[in-house]
Amino acid sequence: MKLPLIAPSVLAADFSRLAEAVIRIDEAGADWVHLDVMDGKFVPPLTFGPKTAADLRPHSSAVFDVHLMVFEPENLIEEFARAGADYITFHAEAVVHSHRLLGAIREMGKKAGISIVPSTPVSAVEPLLPYTDLVLVMTVNPGYGGQSLIPGCLEKVRTLRELRSRGMGNYLISVDGGVNRATAPSVREAGVDVMVTGSAFFDARDKAGLVKELKGG
Ligand code: DX5
Ligand code: ZN
């Protein structure tokens, strides 16, 4: 599959028609479905839980990329694993015992991801890099779609690439927040493997065209 992978987030979709949204994602030639889970505490909004992921599962064969913006994610991983999640990513800022949780996700046969908000440096997760399959670099403060990408966060992508090339781990690097036609070139240039896109994807009339453009043509 051609990198970067494109992972549209259903956060920007009409929640009364989520099945249609995941079908659109497939039809547009995007690679993954990004599911933003918010608990109303770690971030102010509430979105959905494992039942929604389970109900969507039969409508898509794409990788389900679950992004947990919740405190105590350890209480949710088993249910999301059963719901058909492929990647389960939690926030470094929400967890004390991160190695244990990454291990628990992998033991369930799932890919384990760690995410950092814009104010968290890469050094905070460096000890976790050998134990993670994905590092999700937030380029906005999580909680809402449609915000502007904070350009300084892209430096973290470069740092993560550098660490990976030095053998620190074997993870994908994902960028989430404010990815659109205008910002995609700088995100690609930073060397990202996965681009999450919410509002840009669901606002686009030509979704397949957008996916191609985000990938760099
Ligand atoms: C933000 C979410 C993102 C969001 C991105 O808290 O984690 O996945 O959907 O939306 P856009 O692409 O509109 O910034
Ligand atoms: Zn997300």
Does the CA dihedral 207-200-190-160 come out positive or negative? negative
Residue-level pLDDT at 89: 99
Residue type, 162: E
**Averaged pLDDT score across all residues of the chain:** 98
Band the pLDDT of 187: cuts 50, 70, 90: very high
Average pLDDT (91-101) is: 98
The DSSP call for residue 9 is B
Q: Residues 155-186: pLDDT tens digits? A: 999 999 999 999 999 999 999 999 999 999 99
Kindly list the protein residues that place their beta carbon closer than 5 angstroms to ligand 2, a single-atom ion.
Answer: 36, 67, 176
| Domain edges within the chain | 5-215
Q: Which of 11, 34, 179, 187 to mutate to test the pocket of ligand 1 (most atoms within 8 A of CB)?
A: 11
Q: Which of 18, 147, 150 to mutate to test the pocket of ligand 1 (most atoms within 8 A of CB)?
A: 147
Residue 194 CA to ligand 1 centre (angstroms): 13
Residue-level pLDDT at 2: 79
Residue 40 CA to ligand 2 centre (angstroms): 15
Report in angstroms the alpha-carbon separations of 92 from 7, 119, 140, 153: 21, 12, 15, 16
Strand partners, 137: 116, 175
Residue-level pLDDT at 217: 87
Residue 166 CA to ligand 1 centre (angstroms): 30
Ligand nearest to the CA of 142: 1
Tell whether pTM > 0.85.
yes
Mention every residue, 6+ apart, whose C-beta is less than 8 A from residue 53: 35, 64, 66, 80, 83, 84, 85
Residue-level pLDDT at 27: 98
- Cis peptide leading into 185, omega within 30 of 0? no
What is the residue with the minimal CA distance to atom 4 of ligand 1? 145
Fold of 5-215: TIM Barrel (3.20.20)
